Structure 1
């Protein structure tokens, strides 16, 4: 009896595990990301309206801000200010990125260039771009050039480190394999290093874009006559909170739109990369 009972006892866990594998797995309800974004937006507006109803520091509500936005749109002020700020941000961001990518590549590919350039890059990274405004005014005047320069500096310092890390972080196995196949340094750089660094560069561009928008308001302190930052600073003098909120929301929306465009470009350019 004992010899026949033992196989039965051993076979019971096997049948149980087989039944467990055939049992359907429970999956949670998947909510689309866009729906989650709408829920978060509605919740944020609801909290905002609730705080405004409590009269916390005379906080304007969504209705008052929407009404002020309608007035600024109707007379064309918001469009002019948005275009002026967008022009400054795009110019500074484009110039900063175009210079940061080759400088980062040089630092990452050539040890001599790294030794010569890295101290300056790291030094200026510790100096806030806003601290350069007095120097920019003295050296460049009060026109458009100092405003663009401050934005350029913020975008450049954020992007150059990402490009440098992209080159340094390239898998050495890929480079060695290309050399074994007879590829020269120029071919390796263009065919291996640049594609492998693309994700780092695009992330650096997104960070640089955020830095550019974050520097905009301070840059428009330099004798600006139009722009979202200029309009917000003028509204501050008259305690015009709805206008300040309109400027903040407009900057956030423009920055979010540009960031989504960069994210779309990142997904298209890095389809080859393994997803986790």
Structure 2
């Protein structure tokens, strides 16, 4: 490398470092936008007697100050535009509904209504969240284990594949929701019925992708392991499964999404607990802010579980860490 090329490389690195540490101008708009939303919420009279207006204004102000501090400390970079957009969106929602009442109530609530639900009904929301998590983790966990075991059998045993493959093709693609009435009739416990349907929802994609991953393993890997004296157990757990992990995780993600859908349906139609049941109860009493609050909690729960699964995947598949993002 010549001296000019080396100098150019150093200059480029210094310029990139300066660009990375420079605060984007939009970062300085985030705090004022939230502070303006707080001022409008506090000083503009409400069109009706809405709860928690002062608390909402205080919350907007706290976020605005935190964003200003973040901009000063150069912590706001990629998220600065989103902070501005959220501030503008919440401020517009506050003006349109709480101040001008342009949308019909009770179908369209105000930010105050949503905040009031979290302040006054947090215990019921938390209890519903725990019920949903318990139902989901048991059904999804058992379904994933059954799916992985089935995929291993399909990929490694011709006899098992002969008997299991037709059953998988007949039952697997069937939407679990279609079996809901039959499950609640045949299984006396609605909780067990919901678990069984979530197991079916998650087991099918995990089984198919596990089978696909194991079948795609290079036969040379097995030949080398057999040459060194490896038995079938070693071939499964130390050769086939590690090589099939990328495909298995795709199946786990698909199964988790299917379990989310089945969870809500089961809670709305049979299981008398959880966020789905809470939403059904709120809709029956026309408590739409409660329903929206349950949707927010459910979104956070689903996003958190998918993020956790991605963390596990990145930990196990370090060589593919940058291949799939969430």
Normalized against structure 2, the TM-score is what? 0.68
Q: Is the 8 A contact 1:48 1:61 kept in 2?
A: no
Structure-2 residue corresponding to 1:157: 204
Structure-1 residue corresponding to 2:193: 146
**Structure 1 residue 221 and structure 2 residue 268: aligned?**
yes
1:137 corresponds to which of 184, 191, 195: 184
The structural deviation recorded for 1:71 is: 1.2
Q: Where in structure 2 are there 5+ consecutive unaligned residues?
A: 22-73
Larger mean Cα displacement after TM superposition, 217-226 or 128-137: 217-226
Structure 2 residue matching 1:220: 3-state secondary structure: helix
Show the 5 A alignment for 1:186-225: 186-225=233-272
- Cα 1:109–1:141 change in 2 (3 A) is same
**Structure 1 residue 69 and structure 2 residue 80: aligned?**
no
- Cα 1:154–1:50 change in 2 (3 A) is farther
**When the two structures are aligned, how many residues end up with a matched partner?**
258
Structure-1 residue corresponding to 2:85: 43
Larger mean Cα displacement after TM superposition, 58-67 or 208-217: 58-67
Structure-2 residue corresponding to 1:60: 109
1:261 corresponds to which of 308, 320, 324: 308
Larger mean Cα displacement after TM superposition, 244-253 or 176-185: 176-185
Aligned partners of 2:195 and 2:117: how far apart in 1?
29
Per chain length, whose mean CA-contact separation is higher, i.e. which structure has more relative contact order (CA < 8 Å, sep 6+)?
Answer: 1
Larger mean Cα displacement after TM superposition, 120-129 or 92-101: 120-129
Aligned partners of 1:120 and 1:44: how far apart in 2?
49
The structural deviation recorded for 1:157 is: 1.8
**Structure 1 residue 174 and structure 2 residue 159: aligned?**
no
Aligned partners of 2:226 and 2:212: how far apart in 1?
22
Aligned partners of 2:267 and 2:321: how far apart in 1?
42
Aligned partners of 1:132 and 1:34: how far apart in 2?
49
Q: Is the 8 A contact 1:147 1:222 kept in 2?
A: no
Q: Is the 8 A contact 2:93 2:111 kept in 1?
A: no
Aligned partners of 1:130 and 1:41: how far apart in 2?
39
Aligned partners of 2:249 and 2:189: how far apart in 1?
32
Q: Where in structure 1 are there 5+ consecutive unaligned residues?
A: 1-16
Structure 2 residue matching 1:198: 3-state secondary structure: helix
Aligned partners of 1:120 and 1:18: how far apart in 2?
69
Normalized against structure 1, the TM-score is what? 0.79
- Cα 1:23–1:87 change in 2 (3 A) is same
Residues 85-113 of structure 1 show CA distances to partners (whole Å, capped at 9, x for unaligned) of 11111111111012111101111112332
Aligned partners of 1:125 and 1:36: how far apart in 2?
42
Q: Is the 8 A contact 1:49 1:62 kept in 2?
A: no
Residues 6-37 of structure 1 show CA distances to partners (whole Å, capped at 9, x for unaligned) of xxxxxxxxxxx996786345759559999646
- Cα 1:174–1:89 change in 2 (3 A) is same
1:97 corresponds to which of 113, 128, 144: 144
Structure-1 residue corresponding to 2:69: none
The structural deviation recorded for 1:220 is: 1.1
